[in-house]
């Protein structure tokens, strides 16, 4: 009686399966690194809103701060974001996404660390602008690189996951302020924002590859093939030819960077920039002033910060759910609908609802403001072709920061001008209606 050979036969892994496994690992690394970068971006920008009440009530911190000055200080960082994003859009389409992202990680971390040592209004404001330059560069580049690594049919979801880092960072800022502000003061909160320089930056240097699609768009095919083989990311097909009837239109379609945006894509670029500015007016008006508005409505300090937590939690959950709908159908109507939901929910804040209902409404406001902005980045990142995608996302993030600059100042004007809470929310609801209309007017992309 013979014994049966019990050795296990190992089947060879097919090249396609090996490539898919490499791609999955690469996408996970890119998404995770980009997500944590934007978590700290969101933290760095919104932690100011968590400490602004301290500055208003304690001149020993950085000097006397009025509501008007507080609004200006909140805007300095966002003006830095505007400049940084617009510069990064030009640079990233020419030197690559990876280099810009690595510089941005280090830049905003150093900015936060130095800001924590400032003791006057002027120096605090200057360092907020400096920090914003790095934040803008990262926000502008992230959408482009993630959309270029994301698998087909998952681009809006991947971009939404990554950009949900901004409201997650806002949520983290509020939670950290609730727990630690009384123990470590505002300076300690800003030191926390400097951690990426010793954590995220080294990991990104090792694990963040350059975009294969960008390399192809620049004609660097040998590098694209090498990274494709190492990461499993497929080399994209040649971009479609221009759907144009004239040589002039064909030339406009083939242009890269800013020239591509403002020749062939002029109208949608203008509309998307205005929609982003409108959305960020809502985002930063609420993230900067909602705690103070709720203090004036009768809630205590921790209770008012809780509204900030709920606002950003609603933004994260809502954007992730809505992004799946955008991938399945079309991001444009989803973004427009979310703007409209934001306008309606902000209006509902004026009706004097009970606390539980009020918190639920604030969560929906989060979807209609920060959540909508996340979806808008996904819309923009999939709207443009590769050789001007970086500039397109940068335009959305950079020009949109005009709204980010205006948001805290608008909130400061309304809070310091004797306006009622109802009037403040009516003004913000109108901004949501404007965002809806601007999104509806964006034409179909050339590839459709």
**Nearest residue to 400 via CA among 86, 188, 33:** 86
Alpha helices (runs of H) in 116-199, residue ranges in sequence order: 121-149, 155-163, 165-192
- What residues contact 33, with CB distance under 8 A and at least 6 apart? 200, 203, 204, 207, 208
* Cα torsion angle, 265, 271, 272, 277, sign: positive
Q: Give the C-alpha separation, 50 to 333, whole Å.
A: 33
Helix/strand/coil for 198: coil
Per the CATH hierarchy, to which homologous superfamily does domain 16-440 belong? Answer: MFS general substrate transporter like domains (1.20.1250.20)
**3-state DSSP percent of the chain in helix, strand and coil, to 5:** 80, 0, 20
Q: Give the C-alpha separation, 259 to 385, whole Å.
A: 13
Q: So what's the pLDDT on residue 33? A: 94
> What is the model's pTM?
0.75
Q: So what's the pLDDT on residue 29? A: 93
> Do the Cβ atoms of 156 and 319 come closer than 8 Å?
no
Domain ranges of the chain: 16-440
> Do the Cβ atoms of 319 and 326 come closer than 8 Å?
no
Q: So what's the pLDDT on residue 12? A: 61
In order along its 448 residues, the chain shows pLDDT tens digits of 455 555 555 556 677 778 888 888 999 999 999 999 999 888 886 788 778 888 888 888 888 888 888 878 877 887 888 889 888 877 887 788 899 999 999 999 999 999 999 989 999 999 999 999 999 899 888 888 888 888 888 888 888 889 888 878 877 887 888 888 888 888 999 999 999 999 999 999 999 999 888 888 778 888 888 988 888 888 876 554 555 455 444 444 456 666 777 777 888 999 999 999 999 899 888 877 887 777 777 666 566 677 878 888 888 888 889 988 888 888 999 999 999 999 999 999 888 778 788 889 989 999 999 889 889 988 988 888 777 787 888 888 888 878 877 887 888 788 777 788 888 889 999 999 999 999 999 998 755 4
């Amino acid at each position: 009686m013979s014994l049966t050979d019990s050795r296990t036969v190992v089947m060879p892994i097919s090249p396609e399966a090996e490539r898919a496994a490499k791609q999955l690992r690469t996408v996970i690394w890119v998404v995770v690194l980009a997500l944590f970068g934007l978590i700290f971006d969101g933290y760095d920008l919104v932690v100011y809103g968590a400490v602004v009440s301290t500055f208003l009530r304690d001149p020993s911190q950085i000097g006397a701060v009025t509501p008007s000055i507080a609004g200006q200080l909140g805007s300095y960082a966002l003006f830095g974001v505007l400049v940084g994003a617009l510069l990064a859009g030009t640079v990233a389409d020419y030197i690559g996404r990876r280099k810009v992202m690595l510089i941005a990680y280090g830049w905003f971390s150093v900015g936060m660390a130095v800001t924590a040592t400032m003791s006057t209004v002027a120096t605090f404001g200057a360092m907020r602008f400096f920090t914003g330059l790095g934040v803008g560069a990262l926000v502008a580049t992230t959408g482009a690189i993630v959309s270029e690594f994301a698998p087909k049919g998952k681009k809006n979801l991947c971009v939404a996951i990554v950009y949900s880092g901004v409201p997650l960072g806002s949520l983290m800022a509020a939670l950290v302020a609730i727990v630690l502000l009384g123990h470590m003061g505002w300076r300690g909160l800003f030191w926390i924002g400097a951690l990426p320089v010793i954590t995220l930056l080294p990991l990104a240097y090792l694990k963040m590859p350059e975009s294969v699609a960008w390399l192809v768009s620049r004609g660097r095919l040998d590098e694209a093939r090498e990274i494709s083989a190492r990461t499993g990311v497929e080399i994209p097909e040649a971009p479609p030819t221009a759907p144009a009837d004239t040589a002039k239109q064909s030339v406009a379609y083939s242009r890269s960077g800013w020239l591509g945006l403002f020749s062939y894509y002029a109208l949608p670029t203008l509309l998307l920039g205005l929609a982003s500015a409108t959305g960020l007016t809502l985002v930063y008006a609420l993230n900067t002033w909602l705690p103070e508005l709720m203090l004036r409505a009768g809630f205590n300090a921790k209770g008012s910060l809780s509204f900030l937590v709920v606002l950003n939690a609603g933004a994260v959950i809502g954007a992730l759910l809505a992004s799946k709908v955008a991938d399945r159908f079309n991001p444009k109507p989803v973004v427009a609908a979310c703007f409209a939901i934001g306008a309606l929910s902000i209006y509902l804040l004026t009706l004097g609802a009970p606390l539980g209902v009020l918190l639920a409404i604030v969560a929906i406001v989060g979807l209609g403001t920060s959540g909508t902005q996340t979806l808008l980045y996904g819309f923009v990142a999939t709207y443009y072709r590769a050789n001007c995608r970086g500039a397109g996302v940068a335009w959305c993030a950079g020009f949109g920061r005009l709204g980010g600059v205006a948001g805290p100042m608008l909130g400061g004007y309304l809070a310091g001008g004797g306006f009622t809470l109802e009037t403040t929310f009516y003004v913000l609801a109108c901004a949501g209606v404007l965002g809806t209309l601007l999104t509806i007017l964006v034409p179909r992309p050339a590839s459709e």
